[in-house]
Amino acid sequence: MKRLLFIYNAKSGKAQIRKHLADIIDIFIKAGYRVEAYQTQSREDAMHQVEKRGKSFDLIVCSGGDGTLNEVITGLMRSDWYYEKRVPIGYIPSGSTNDFANSIILPKNVISAANVAVNGKKKSVDIGSFNDRNFVYVAAFGAFTDVSYNTPQDLKNILGHQAYIVEGLKQFIPTITSTYHIKLIANGKKLEGDFIYGMVSNSNSVGGFKGISGKNVGLDDGLFEVTLVKQPSSPFEFQEIISALLLGKKSRLVCQFKTSLLKVYSEDKIDWVVDGEFGGSVKKAVIRNHCRAINVVTGENLIYRKK
């Protein structure tokens, strides 16, 4: 029989995955897999499990938020066996926002997502590296980027995506006054300026907002979407920024472009967030696109319904 490793974070989201474990495993077994289930015990546990044991399996399915998915994919990218045996990744999203899940057309219902994991279409997608660590869909700095890792898990479980909005509003006044002077190299060109926010992404959705990273996003084109936002001097300019990000309107305060390699320099250390987790405080960030590095199972070829 084919072997399936199921790694799940029981605390993710509203901790609903525990109620559905038997049904999920039954779906895997009926799809012809011998299943080994593993509940993560600590931070980076999923990464270590995949790196050490993933080679023995034909499919790895993980359940949790973007952080859990990041750990699983990082485990693959760091292993010395992955490029010999490109084990595909299935994903059952159970976090509060699940941006990457939206990009690969996964249902929010965990039972439907389990069906996709074993019956969906395999697709190669780009993975990013931020200095010495990997990320699945976003690396960012500046205003609101620390919302996800500063939001208490209990609040996430109760409010879901609303928790991020609550924390974001609380941080609005102090963060909007902070600017970051950076020098940037991309596509053979240099850019220097003061920005309140910067984002390097490979997703149709970031922070639960669709379209914020720009148009014509390709998950397998070898390119990142880069967004840089200058500081507004008035409520009117802030509204202009929101319109540019959410409605695609042009603004001199928002700079967007695509690149496969980005180098960001600053005189002072800048805090970065990688896939919703604290990514480090650095003066230099080298962000590289690894084209079609990982095989994931998507819902592109399936019509699913909630059960």
Q: How many CB atoms lie within 10 A of CB 165?
A: 13
Cα–Cα distance, 65 to 9 (Å, whole number): 8
State the helix-helix crossing angle for 110-119 and 21-30, rounded to 10 degrees: 20
Residue 266: is it exposed, middle or buried by C-beta count within 10 angstroms (0-12/13-18/19+)? middle
What architecture is domain 135-289?
Sandwich (2.60)
Q: Residue 37's pLDDT band (boundaries 50, 70, 90)?
A: very high
* Overall average pLDDT of the 3-22 stretch: 86
Q: Residue 231's pLDDT band (boundaries 50, 70, 90)?
A: confident
Cα–Cα distance, 12 to 62 (Å, whole number): 12
Alpha carbon dihedral 138, 143, 144, 147, in 10-degree steps, equals 90
Cα–Cα distance, 198 to 189 (Å, whole number): 17
pLDDT, tens only, 263-303: 999 999 999 999 888 889 999 999 999 999 999 999 876 64
Q: pLDDT at position 33, please?
A: 97
- Structural fold of domain 2-130+293-298: Rossmann fold (3.40.50)
Annotated domain spans of the chain: 2-130+293-298, 135-289
Cα–Cα distance, 62 to 70 (Å, whole number): 10
Q: Is 66 helix (H, G, I), strand (E, B) or coil?
A: helix
Question: By the 8 A CB rule, do 148 and 276 touch?
Answer: yes
Highest mean pLDDT among 9-18, 73-82, 96-105: 73-82
Query: What b/e readout covers 68-91, taking b as 16+ CB neighbours within 10 angstroms?
Result: bbbbbbbbbbebeebeeeebbbbb
Among 71-85, 98-112, 176-190, 228-242, which is the least confidently predicted range? 228-242
Higher pLDDT, 29 or 161: 29
* pTM confidence score: 0.84
Q: How many CB atoms lie within 10 A of CB 301?
A: 12
pLDDT, tens only, 136-178: 999 999 876 655 445 555 554 554 544 554 455 455 444 556 7
